[in-house]
Chain A
Amino acid sequence: MRFDAVIIGGGYAGCTVAGILSDAGLKVCVVSEGLSLAVSGSKTPYAAQAALQKHGVTVLRGDRAMGAKVQDGRVLGVETRNLGSGTILEADFFILATGKFFSRGLLSDKEHIWEPVFGADVEYSSDRTTWYDEDFSAPQPFMDFGVKTDASARVLVDGKALENLYAAGDIVAKGCKEANVTKLIEDYARRDK
């Protein structure tokens, strides 16, 4: 299935970016695993997604990106759990907005933290005592963890930025650049000329 942009993650950042891109006339797909803490309200938990769908955004609700086809530093497509290998989501650019640990944008075990869809670079120490502060009410280091991006908010994998993969929201490491949607729209509009 072909789109202009595929957004992986349908939480606060993902839906906001989807809305802006869709308003600018792009054909957008959002892959959203579960409800997000940020977006759900008590009466209309799916309100943001429903509004997007009314404006022509394809929302794959309850679906998860399993892996990506990357070639020569460019993301060609993403495979999802529900649609399977027969329907790869192809797009001109992709946005990673999968959130942090709660939403499983980042996974962890005793010693490692990693980003499961692209294997993006995550900065952390294998000494997990550096992940937290003993005082519950103090700022927690793990709340700042995320994927590294370059100055254009493109995601770094093995130190190199993927040409058409950007990141937005909680998934981005503190101190790294988050996707500038306006610039993305401008770049996209320019590319046809």
Chain B
Amino acid sequence: MTSKEYDVIIVGGGITGAATARDCALRGLSTLLIERGDICDGASGRNHGLLHSGARYAVTDREGAEECIRENRILRRIASNCVEPTEGLFISLPEDGLDYQANFIAKCREAGIDAQAIDPAEALRLEPAINPRIIGAVKVPDASVDPFRLVDAHILDAQRHGADIKKFTAVASLVKEGGRVVGVKTAAGEVIRSREVVLAAGIWTAGLAREAGVNIGMMPSKGALVIFGHRIANMVINRCRKPANADILVPGDVVSVLGTTSDKVPIETCDDMRATPAEVDLLLREGEQLVPSLAHTRIIRAYAGVRPLVVADPAGDGRNVSRGIVLLDHEERDGVPGLITITGGKLTTSRLMAEMATDLVCKKVGSSAVCRTADLPLPGSEGRKPSFEDPFVERAAIGRHGTEVSRMDFGKGGEILCECEHVTRAEIAYAVEHFGVRNISDLRRHTRIGMGTCQGSFCIRSVATALAEILSPDPRSAAKLSDEFVSQYRQERWKGITPVLWGDTLREAEYMQKVNGNEI
């Protein structure tokens, strides 16, 4: 690979990088996506899973809201196996007053967002779990999106259109020749050349750019979230007031996610983000206003991610196409050709960010290809939903992967290994073959293994054995590998469980400790 020169190398396997790789590949550019971990190591792997309708931004950021609703419609269409069209409610409590709601509806409509005021009684009928004190409710086209599935689908599509993907490979530095960025150098010392390098590495972008002599002011903003064990509400529940902490509850497949917070943190903490007990207590206090039963609903775990916020650059901050999305042409901005940064924005507008970045790359390399990402469906989204007629063991996989299930061999691998999430041996084999995994944490992102209430305490042994057998044909090293998988995964899950260690979660922890043999 070192001898090949790509048109573009994209650094970062989150949604921004993956969407950019897809767009570049679809336009015929020779593309490499390089990622230090599996996928979604940053904000893409630690967010709310919310496909915004834009309503939340309609009052303060009209342009951002318009972008959201357009992209919302596009993603529902092209990523139907990743997006659940749950719709959303913005509820008003007595202390919120109804004035905000009136303005809110008007601003939504101006931005092209279909906001409908509904009777509070009707809202309670639709969602019996919401606070019975509501005085108003507005229905909006919010939806729920699985970011891991979305990234996987983008990467698959990029690969199927010729892109190369290099996972588990960190970029140590950018390679410059004569003041121009000509490629990247991996941590292992390998040099890969390209005509353009696009940094889509979230909060880690600034560090990589700095070494190349480019200064981007980035401020890590931490957001903590909490996952409840089952689907409490089927619609996204928001608070109809000025955006604040902990005022969104999102259904995510078979769980519910409550968030979020917003605190500046030092860059050094970004590789080991954890939610603190104080953050959890805050989330619950506020969340109980939305849905009172959250006070005693079982919490599976708590986690935190970091948003890559870009601060205004007094020296002129390049081409901000919108206030949220930040696209930086470093040739123009900093006199460093061959380097582009695409960052900021939201998961919801990732396709648009990719389009902007790819337009710029095409301009730089002299391609006149047009963007087709809004029209072409992603792999798996060609309208396959689980039905009662499908064999039971296949239904969850169909729900997750849509048409991609045709690549799974349920005849050989119909045994369910993760019982909370109905993950079969066939699905595991598919994930290993198509995505490349190092351990169970990676496997989790592609299949939902261990994302249930037991967090792997029940199934982990059999999953570890199955994975080890696939990755290591030699039985002795497979056994050793299996042990490593178990201990690595248990420690990782533990990180998310400790901030919420009480009630049934504490009971589960005692079970985990005993089953793991820690407690004699």
Chain A residues near B491 (CB, 8 Å)? 135-137
Number of residues from B at the complex interface, CB < 8 A? 24
Number of residues from A at the complex interface, CB < 8 A? 20
**Known contacts A101-B507, A134-B494, A136-B490; is A37 also within 8 Å of B502 by CB?**
no
Query: Total A-B residue pairs with C-beta atoms closer than 8 Å?
Result: 58
A6 to chain B, nearest CB (A): 25
Partner of A142 from the list B281, B494, B506, B514 (CB cut-off 8 Å) is: B506
A191 to chain B, nearest CB (A): 37
**Known contacts A37-B511, A134-B494, A140-B513; is A108 also within 8 Å of B518 by CB?**
no
B213 to chain A, nearest CB (A): 39
Partner of A102 from the list B487, B494, B503, B510 (CB cut-off 8 Å) is: B510
Q: How far is the CA of A64 from the CA of B4 in the complex (A)?
A: 71
B271 to chain A, nearest CB (A): 16
List CB contacts (< 8 Å) of B454-512 with chain A: 487, 490-491, 493-495, 498, 501-503, 506-507, 509-512
Interface status of A44 (Cβ within 8 A of chain B): no
Chain B residues near A74 (CB, 8 Å)? none
Mark contacts of A100-111 with chain B using CB atoms, 8 A cut-off: 1 yes-contact digit, 0 otherwise: 111010001110
Whether the pair A101, B518 counts as a contact (CB closer than 8 A) is: no
Mark contacts of A19-37 with chain B using CB atoms, 8 A cut-off: 1 yes-contact digit, 0 otherwise: 0000000000000000001
Whether the pair A132, B507 counts as a contact (CB closer than 8 A) is: no
Chain B residues near A131 (CB, 8 Å)? 501, 506
Q: How far is the CA of A102 from the CA of B519 in the complex (A)?
A: 13
Whether the pair A137, B511 counts as a contact (CB closer than 8 A) is: no
Interface status of B277 (Cβ within 8 A of chain A): yes
Whether the pair B277, A101 counts as a contact (CB closer than 8 A) is: no
B150 to chain A, nearest CB (A): 30
Q: Which residue from chain B places its CB closest to the CB of A108 in the assembled complex?
A: B502
Whether the pair A132, B501 counts as a contact (CB closer than 8 A) is: yes
Chain A residues near B518 (CB, 8 Å)? 136-137, 139-140
List CB contacts (< 8 Å) of A88-119 with chain B: 100-102, 104, 108-110
Q: How far is the CA of A108 from the CA of B296 in the complex (A)?
A: 11
Whether the pair B507, A102 counts as a contact (CB closer than 8 A) is: yes
Q: How far is the CA of A25 from the CA of B378 in the complex (A)?
A: 74
Whether the pair B513, A101 counts as a contact (CB closer than 8 A) is: no
Whether the pair B514, A110 counts as a contact (CB closer than 8 A) is: no
Q: Secondary structure at chain A's binding surface: helix, strand, loop or mixed?
A: loop
Whether the pair A110, B511 counts as a contact (CB closer than 8 A) is: no
Interface status of A143 (Cβ within 8 A of chain B): yes
Chain A residues near B495 (CB, 8 Å)? 134
B273 to chain A, nearest CB (A): 14
Q: How far is the CA of A134 from the CA of B494 in the complex (A)?
A: 7
Partner of B503 from the list A37, A108, A129 (CB cut-off 8 Å) is: A108
Interface status of A128 (Cβ within 8 A of chain B): yes
**Known contacts A110-B281, A134-B494, A137-B487; is A128 also within 8 Å of B501 by CB?**
yes
Whether the pair B498, A132 counts as a contact (CB closer than 8 A) is: yes
Q: How far is the CA of A100 from the CA of B510 in the complex (A)?
A: 8
Chain A residues near B514 (CB, 8 Å)? 37, 102
Whether the pair A109, B503 counts as a contact (CB closer than 8 A) is: yes
Q: How far is the CA of A131 from the CA of B519 in the complex (A)?
A: 15
List CB contacts (< 8 Å) of A30-50 with chain B: 37
Chain B residues near A136 (CB, 8 Å)? 487, 490-491, 493-494, 512, 516, 518
B474 to chain A, nearest CB (A): 26
Name which of A101, A128, A134, A136 has the most chain B CB atoms within 10 A of its CB. A136
Whether the pair A104, B507 counts as a contact (CB closer than 8 A) is: yes
Q: How far is the CA of A108 from the CA of B519 in the complex (A)?
A: 20
List CB contacts (< 8 Å) of B259-317 with chain A: 277, 281, 284
Chain A residues near B510 (CB, 8 Å)? 100-102, 142-143
Q: Which residue from chain A places its CB closest to the CB of B519 in the assembled complex?
A: A143
Q: How far is the CA of A147 from the CA of B506 in the complex (A)?
A: 17
Chain B residues near A135 (CB, 8 Å)? 491, 494
B274 to chain A, nearest CB (A): 9
Whether the pair A102, B511 counts as a contact (CB closer than 8 A) is: yes
Chain B residues near A100 (CB, 8 Å)? 510
A101 to chain B, nearest CB (A): 5
Mark contacts of A122-156 with chain B using CB atoms, 8 A cut-off: 1 yes-contact digit, 0 otherwise: 00000011011011110110110000000000000
Q: How far is the CA of A135 from the CA of B513 in the complex (A)?
A: 12
Chain B residues near A142 (CB, 8 Å)? 501, 506, 509-510
Chain A residues near B487 (CB, 8 Å)? 136-137
Q: Which residue from chain A places its CB closest to the CB of B494 in the assembled complex?
A: A136
Q: How far is the CA of A37 from the CA of B507 in the complex (A)?
A: 12
Chain B residues near A143 (CB, 8 Å)? 510, 513, 519
Q: How far is the CA of A158 from the CA of B512 in the complex (A)?
A: 32
Whether the pair A129, B506 counts as a contact (CB closer than 8 A) is: no
A127 to chain B, nearest CB (A): 8
B426 to chain A, nearest CB (A): 27
Whether the pair A110, B502 counts as a contact (CB closer than 8 A) is: yes
B137 to chain A, nearest CB (A): 29
A47 to chain B, nearest CB (A): 20
Q: Which residue from chain A places its CB closest to the CB of B296 in the assembled complex?
A: A109
A3 to chain B, nearest CB (A): 30
Chain A residues near B506 (CB, 8 Å)? 101, 108, 131, 142
Chain A residues near B284 (CB, 8 Å)? 110
Q: Which residue from chain B places its CB closest to the CB of A131 in the assembled complex?
A: B501
A100 to chain B, nearest CB (A): 6
Given contacts A37-B511, A129-B277, 17 further A-B contacts (CB under 8 A): A37-B514, A100-B510, A101-B507, A102-B507, A102-B514, A108-B503, A109-B502, A110-B284, A134-B495, A136-B487, A136-B491, A136-B516, A137-B487, A137-B516, A140-B513, A142-B510, A143-B519
A-B contact pairs, 11 of them (CB 8 A): A101-B509, A102-B507, A136-B490, A136-B493, A136-B512, A137-B491, A137-B516, A140-B513, A142-B506, A142-B509, A143-B510
Chain A interfacial positions (CB closer than 8 Å to B): 37, 100-102, 104, 108-110, 128-129, 131-132, 134-137, 139-140, 142-143
